[in-house]
Amino acid sequence: RRQVAAEIGWRVMELRHDAAVNAVAFSSNQRFVVSVSEDKTARVWDVTTGKLMRVLRPPQDEGKEGELNAVAISPDGETIAV
């Protein structure tokens, strides 16, 4: 497993993936953070508890097809773009 630490104020969260983490984005209200990885998943984390809320798996194929390299969250927190 691979992990990256995301600093949130004084708190550090470990964002665990099965491959390198390529990007993270915080919601505008700072309630959740989304990490994307070469393991072809986007993971949504609760900032308060540090717990994994959801794993998103977009369409993918063999090799690098489907690796995620960027993430953005809409200002209202309703849409995640990877």
pLDDT at 8: 54
**The CA-based dihedral angle spanning residues 5, 38, 68, 64, taken in that order and rounded to the nearest 10 degrees:** 170
Per-residue pLDDT of the chain (82 residues; tens, 9 = 90+): 554 555 555 455 677 888 888 999 999 998 999 999 989 999 999 988 889 999 999 888 888 888 899 999 999 999 999 9
53 Cβ neighbours under 8 A, 6+ residues apart: 32, 44, 45, 46
Report field, pTM of the whole predicted structure over 0.85: no
